[in-house]
């Protein structure tokens, strides 16, 4: 009989500089494309545990993390920052003799195959500083090192100075690496004050990563932060506050996949690309290994095309990530990338005779990361 | 022999230059300057003339004006940047003199100070929002509107004095030296809702700050907003707000409509677009002259103490005025007429 001894992982060391891919069971089909040295997978959703269990034996060297979903329907409160007890209709469930604790949730994640545990924090409402204090105290009471503190946040935690100051204080005193996820019905970074607030946060603390995001994952790394987790689907590039519905497109909407356009550093639905910009041709081709110089607007809503688009997105992001890691000055690299994206918008506008402007988040990032800061 | 600091304090609070005081007291500016520097003594007939010109009893000038703590503790003005330095200097002097006058007038039945400051080691962690919740809990205040904010401050041992501060650019000045009570000097010319927010703001300084910091005004504002409307209350009442709702909430919560809109934004209940839209609507309706007007609150601690002492026959008006180092006329004008 053999006994396996698990090496205790230092979560901060494991996450440092890593760009993870975040999704649900759709991560299984992408796992083979993940960079094991600098990447990994965060699995979320109802089937997260089963997905991690499925992936672990096939990819023993891949960083795997299970993200609890308690923040989707429960708030963190001063009394209960980690609302993990089983309840049905407000009553204790039949499992009340088998108490669920934060420790047991973490232990279960790791026993299931995750490399590190994620603390199951409830959603932190705007202005609820008492809940943040309880989260911080509760997390710091956990003595193990293989744990990440996940903070699912209302936008005010980065946009409103009072909340941001409290968030910064919580991250500074955290004994565990911290990752934040921002809630909005659609793209958080496009909302007023979010990019500014995030940059102020990244300037203030380095022990922080950004999950459920898009280019924000590279941004946090460019500013010396801990890690990022890039949402594979648009719905995984933000979270939603409990009792709130995400923006849902009308019936018959464009179901083609969101495709990352490398030069532009933005996503656009494949079908919308054709209609809005390339009705008269001029669509760009992509040299990534998935696309092999085929056009970016080729993806249909079929399952195989959606998967291929996700693989394309993953390859592009991985390439960008490698570029960032290799750069001696990551802030300058980021500013150059943004400036190039702005230029690419102008060039595409000129080539297509359609006015194509950076989206609000990209515009803000360009404004806040001027090349002139780096002697250009 | 007059104490130079007392002469300076009295002159500044009366808003007189050395030249003006000299003319009024029949003394040269040069001599007065030497008095204030402590180079020459002011006594005898010249002291009487200076005291008369400044409308203080001679006794005022014979003692140090307050303890070192009350002179050196940080005072926090809530003001606009355009406030003239001379006005701020005068109001700071007024704050110091008000403390000198009021503290000796209190009796043992005045509410003790039950407030506690945020400790230095908690300064980077316990937020103004949490301190506001702590103050509410300390006062036994449930969630919901604070019916009388001045009463709350006084219940916690804060001295509140309402005076015309002579400029609309200054709402209040507060100070809490060690070993003394917190004192808030509120401008009587400010509207009632603004006075409530300002008093909360100064209470915030009292519990949050002992020295000046870059974030002090912002933090005091955050404290004030959370004290007047805790986050959990805001989430209940500030959803889907419009101008008529804000008018109703203003009457109920004693906060200006502009402050309510800001609170809704800070609690993530209105987005930036709606925030701007509401402010435009408010401006159209007359932001500076909001339709709903509140009744100004008046402090009671001092008046109650004076009433108790007079009812018990323990002190005459002349004795009370002497204790406050004031002339009887000024004492009656400032502290007794206000009561009647």
Element (H, E) at B270: none
Minimal-distance CA residue of chain B relative to A192: B272
Closest-CA distance of chain B to residue A156, Å: 6
Give tens-digit pLDDT for B219-237: 999 999 999 999 999 999 9
Q: pTM of the entire structure?
A: 0.91
Residue B39 · residue B46 · CB < 8 Å: no
Distance CA(B185)–CA(B302), nearest Å, equals: 13
Residue A321 burial (10 A CB sphere; 0-12, 13-18, 19+): buried
Torsion angle of C-alpha atoms B46, B52, B57, B62, degrees rounded to 10: -20
Distance CA(A248)–CA(B86), nearest Å, equals: 60
Q: How, if at all, do strands A91-92 and A87-88 pair?
A: antiparallel
Rounded alpha-carbon distances, angstroms, from residue B187 to A175, B170, B196: 47, 7, 11
Q: Exposure string (b/e) for A252-268, b if CB count within 10 Å is 16 or more?
A: eeeebbbbbbbebbbbb
Binning pLDDT at 50, 70 and 90, where does residue B293 land? confident
Chain-centroid distance of CA A121 in Å reads 16
| Dihedrals phi, psi of A21, to nearest 5 degrees | -105, 135
Distance CA(B237)–CA(B229), nearest Å, equals: 10
DSSP state of A291: T
Q: What angle do CA B163, B169, B175 make, to 5 degrees?
A: 55
Residue A81 · residue A124 · CB < 8 Å: no
Binning pLDDT at 50, 70 and 90, where does residue A92 land? very low
Cβ of B213 under 8 Å from any chain A Cβ? no
Residues 106-135 on B with a CB inside 8 Å of A are: 124-130, 133
Q: Which pLDDT score, from 0 to 100, does residue A89 have?
A: 44
Distance CA(A115)–CA(B133), nearest Å, equals: 40
String of DSSP letters for A239-279: B--TT-PPP-PPTT---SPEEEETTTTEEEEHHHHHHHT-T
Closest-CA distance of chain B to residue A168, Å: 9
Torsion angle of C-alpha atoms A171, A175, A178, A184, degrees rounded to 10: -60
DSSP state of B183: E
The answer to whether A166 contacts B127, with C-beta atoms less than 8 Å apart, is yes
Kindly report which listed range (A38-47, A172-181, A272-281) carries the lowest average pLDDT score: A272-281
Q: Which pLDDT score, from 0 to 100, does residue A88 have?
A: 42
Chain-centroid distance of CA A52 in Å reads 18
Distance CA(A56)–CA(A58), nearest Å, equals: 5
Chain-centroid distance of CA A293 in Å reads 28
**Of the ranges A146-160, B82-96, B107-121, the best mean pLDDT one:** A146-160
The answer to whether B218 contacts A130, with C-beta atoms less than 8 Å apart, is no
Q: Which residues in chain B are closer than 8 Å to A130, comparing Cβ atoms? A: 130, 133
Rounded alpha-carbon distances, angstroms, from residue A126 to A32, A205, A210, B56, B222: 39, 20, 18, 53, 13
Strand partners, A182: A153
Cβ of A242 under 8 Å from any chain B Cβ? no
The answer to whether A126 contacts B125, with C-beta atoms less than 8 Å apart, is no
Closest-CA distance of chain B to residue A207, Å: 17
Res. B286: pLDDT tops 90: no
Mean pLDDT for the stretch of residues B167-172: 88
DSSP-derived 3-state class of residue A27:
helix
**Which among B119, B232, B121, B127 is positioned nearest to A133, based on CA atoms?**
B127
Instruction: For residue B127, give the nearest of A125, A154, A162 by CB distance.
Output: A162
Mean pLDDT for the stretch of residues A69-77: 95
Binning pLDDT at 50, 70 and 90, where does residue B83 land? confident
**What does chain B come to in residues?**
340
The answer to whether B130 contacts A133, with C-beta atoms less than 8 Å apart, is yes
Closest-CA distance of chain B to residue A361, Å: 15
Nearby residues of A180 by Cβ (< 8 Å), 6 or more positions away: A150, A151, A152, A153, A157, A158, A167, A208, A209, A210, A211
Residue A288 burial (10 A CB sphere; 0-12, 13-18, 19+): buried
Binning pLDDT at 50, 70 and 90, where does residue B336 land? confident
Q: Which residues in chain B are closer than 8 Å to A163, comparing Cβ atoms? A: 266
Residue B202 · residue B174 · CB < 8 Å: yes
**Which among B256, B231, B268, B253 is positioned nearest to B129, based on CA atoms?**
B231
Q: What angle do CA A40, A42, A45 make, to 5 degrees?
A: 155
Residue A124 burial (10 A CB sphere; 0-12, 13-18, 19+): buried
Tokens of A224: 């010396």
Give tens-digit pLDDT for B294-316: 889 999 999 999 999 988 887 88
Nearby residues of B300 by Cβ (< 8 Å), 6 or more positions away: B150, B151, B154
Distance CA(B56)–CA(B16), nearest Å, equals: 14
| Dihedrals phi, psi of B8, to nearest 5 degrees | -60, -45
Instruction: For residue A154, give the nearest of B130, B265, B268 by CB distance.
Output: B268
Mean pLDDT for the stretch of residues A171-199: 96
Q: Which pLDDT score, from 0 to 100, does residue B139 have?
A: 95
Residue B15 · residue B23 · CB < 8 Å: no
Cβ of A172 under 8 Å from any chain B Cβ? yes
Distance CA(A163)–CA(B269), nearest Å, equals: 14
Element (H, E) at A294: strand A294-295
Q: Which residues in chain B are closer than 8 Å to A125, comparing Cβ atoms? A: 231, 235, 268
Q: Which pLDDT score, from 0 to 100, does residue B315 have?
A: 83
Whether the CA torsion B25, B29, B34, B36 is positive or negative: it is: positive
Residue A12 · residue A146 · CB < 8 Å: no
Owner of token pair 């002492």: B309
Q: How, if at all, do strands A266-269 and A258-261 pair?
A: antiparallel
Q: What angle do CA A119, A121, A125 make, to 5 degrees?
A: 155
The answer to whether B235 contacts A162, with C-beta atoms less than 8 Å apart, is no
Residue B166 · residue B90 · CB < 8 Å: yes
Distance CA(A232)–CA(A316), nearest Å, equals: 12
DSSP state of B58: G
Cβ of A129 under 8 Å from any chain B Cβ? yes
Q: Which pLDDT score, from 0 to 100, does residue A91 have?
A: 46
Tokens of A95: 């499992």
Give tens-digit pLDDT for A207-226: 999 999 999 999 999 999 99
Mean pLDDT for the stretch of residues B41-69: 90
Cβ of B215 under 8 Å from any chain A Cβ? yes
Binning pLDDT at 50, 70 and 90, where does residue A44 land? very high
**Which among B146, B189, B149, B153 is positioned nearest to B174, based on CA atoms?**
B153
Instruction: For residue A160, give the nearest of B125, B219, B266 by CB distance.
Output: B266
The answer to whether B218 contacts A160, with C-beta atoms less than 8 Å apart, is no
Res. A9: pLDDT tops 60: yes
Mean pLDDT for the stretch of residues B162-172: 89
Q: Which pLDDT score, from 0 to 100, does residue A280 have?
A: 83
String of DSSP letters for B99-128: HHHHGGG--TTSPP----PPPGGGTTTS-H
Cβ of A193 under 8 Å from any chain B Cβ? yes
Res. A158: pLDDT tops 50: yes
Residue A142 · residue A11 · CB < 8 Å: no
Interface test with A, best of B220, B267, B275, B277 (most A CBs within 10 A): B267
Distance CA(B162)–CA(B166), nearest Å, equals: 12
Rounded alpha-carbon distances, angstroms, from residue B210 to B97, B112, B121, B217: 20, 20, 13, 13
Query: How many A×B Cβ pairs under 8 Å?
Result: 58
Minimal-distance CA residue of chain A relative to B274: A192
Residue A254, sorted as left (phi over 0), alpha (psi -120 to 50) or beta, turns out to be: beta
Distance CA(B178)–CA(B73), nearest Å, equals: 8
Cβ of A155 under 8 Å from any chain B Cβ? yes
The answer to whether A169 contacts B127, with C-beta atoms less than 8 Å apart, is yes
Res. A173: pLDDT tops 70: yes
Q: Which pLDDT score, from 0 to 100, does residue B22 have?
A: 95
Res. A149: pLDDT tops 50: yes
Q: What is the mean pLDDT of chain A?
A: 92
Distance CA(A61)–CA(A38), nearest Å, equals: 11
Residue B233 · residue B222 · CB < 8 Å: no
Minimal-distance CA residue of chain A relative to B219: A162
DSSP state of A174: -
Tokens of A131: 């809940």
Owner of token pair 């009394």: A79
Cβ of A187 under 8 Å from any chain B Cβ? no
Q: Which pLDDT score, from 0 to 100, does residue A145 have?
A: 96
């Amino acid at each position: 009989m053999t006994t396996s001894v698990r090496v205790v992982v230092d979560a901060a060391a494991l996450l440092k500089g890593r760009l993870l891919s975040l999704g649900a069971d759709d991560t299984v089909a992408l796992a083979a494309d993940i960079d094991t040295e600098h990447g990994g997978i965060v699995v979320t959703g109802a089937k997260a545990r089963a997905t991690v269990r499925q992936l672990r034996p096939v990819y023993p060297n891949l960083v795997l993390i299970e993200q609890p979903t308690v923040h989707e329907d429960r708030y963190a409160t001063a009394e209960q920052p980690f609302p993990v007890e089983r309840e049905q209709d407000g009553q204790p469930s039949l499992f009340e003799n088998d108490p669920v604790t934060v420790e047991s949730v973490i232990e279960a994640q790791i026993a299931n195959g995750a490399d590190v545990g994620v603390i199951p924090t409830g959603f932190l409402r705007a202005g609820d500083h008492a809940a943040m204090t309880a989260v911080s105290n509760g997390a710091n009471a956990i003595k193990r090192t293989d744990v990440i503190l996940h903070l699912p946040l209302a936008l005010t935690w980065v946009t409103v100075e009072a909340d941001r100051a409290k968030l910064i204080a919580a991250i500074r005193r955290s004994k565990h690496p911290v990752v934040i996820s921002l809630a909005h019905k659609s793209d958080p970074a496009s909302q007023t004050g979010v990019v500014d607030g995030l940059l102020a946060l990244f300037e203030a603390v380095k022990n922080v990563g950004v999950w459920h995001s898009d280019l924000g994952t590279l941004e946090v790394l460019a500013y010396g932060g801990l890690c990022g987790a890039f949402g594979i689907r648009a719905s995984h590039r933000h979270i939603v506050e409990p009792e709130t519905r995400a923006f849902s497109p009308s019936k018959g909407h464009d179901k083609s996949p969101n495709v990352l356009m490398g030069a532009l550093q933005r996503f656009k639905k494949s079908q919308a690309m054709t209609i809005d910009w390339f009705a008269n041709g001029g669509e760009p081709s992509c040299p990534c290994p998935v696309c092999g110089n085929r056009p970016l607007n080729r993806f249909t809503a079929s399952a195989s095309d959606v998967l291929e688009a996700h693989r394309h997105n993953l390859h592009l992001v991985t390439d960008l990530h490698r570029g960032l890691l290799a750069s001696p000055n990551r802030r300058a690299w980021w500013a150059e990338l943004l400036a190039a994206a702005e230029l690419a918008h102008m060039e595409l506008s000129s080539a297509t005779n359609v006015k194509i402007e950076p989206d609000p988040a990209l515009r803000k990032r360009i404004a806040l990361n001027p090349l002139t800061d780096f002697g250009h | 022999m007059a104490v130079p600091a007392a002469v300076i304090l009295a002159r500044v609070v009366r808003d007189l230059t050395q030249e003006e005081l000299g003319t009024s007291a029949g003394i040269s500016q040069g001599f007065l300057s030497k008095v204030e520097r402590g180079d020459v003594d002011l006594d005898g007939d010249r002291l009487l003339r200076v005291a008369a010109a400044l409308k203080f009893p001679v006794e005022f000038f014979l003692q140090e004006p307050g303890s070192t703590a009350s002179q050196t503790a940080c005072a926090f003005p809530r003001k606009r940047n355009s406030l003239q330095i001379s006005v701020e200097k005068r109001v700071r002097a007024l704050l110091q003199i008000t403390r000198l006058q009021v503290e000796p007038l209190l009796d043992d039945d005045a509410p003790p100070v039950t407030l506690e400051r945020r400790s230095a080691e908690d300064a980077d962690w316990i937020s103004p929002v949490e301190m506001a919740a702590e103050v509410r809990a300390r006062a036994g205040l449930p969630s919901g509107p604070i019916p009388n904010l001045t009463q709350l401050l006084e219940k916690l041992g804060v001295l509140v004095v309402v005076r015309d501060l002579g400029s609309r650019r200054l709402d209040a000045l507060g100070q809490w030296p060690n070993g003394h009570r917190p004192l808030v000097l509120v401008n009587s010319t400010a509207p009632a809702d603004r006075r409530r927010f300002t008093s909360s703001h100064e209470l915030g300084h009292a519990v949050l700050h002992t020295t000046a910091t870059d974030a002090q005004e912002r933090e005091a504002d955050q404290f004030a907003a959370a004290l007047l409307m805790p986050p959990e209350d805001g989430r209940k009442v500030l959803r889907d707000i419009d101008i008529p709702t804000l008018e109703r909430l203003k009457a109920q919560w004693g906060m200006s409509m502009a402050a309510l809109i800001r609170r809704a934004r800070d609690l993530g209940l209105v987005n930036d677009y709606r925030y701007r839209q509401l402010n435009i609507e408010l401006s159209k309706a007359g932001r500076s002259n909001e339709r709903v007007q509140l009744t100004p609150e008046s402090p009671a601690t001092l008046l109650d103490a004076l009433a108790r002492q007079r009812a018990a026959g323990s002190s005459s008006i002349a004795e009370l005025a002497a204790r406050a180092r004031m002339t009887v006329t000024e004492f009656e004008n400032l502290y007794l007429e206000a009561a009647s």
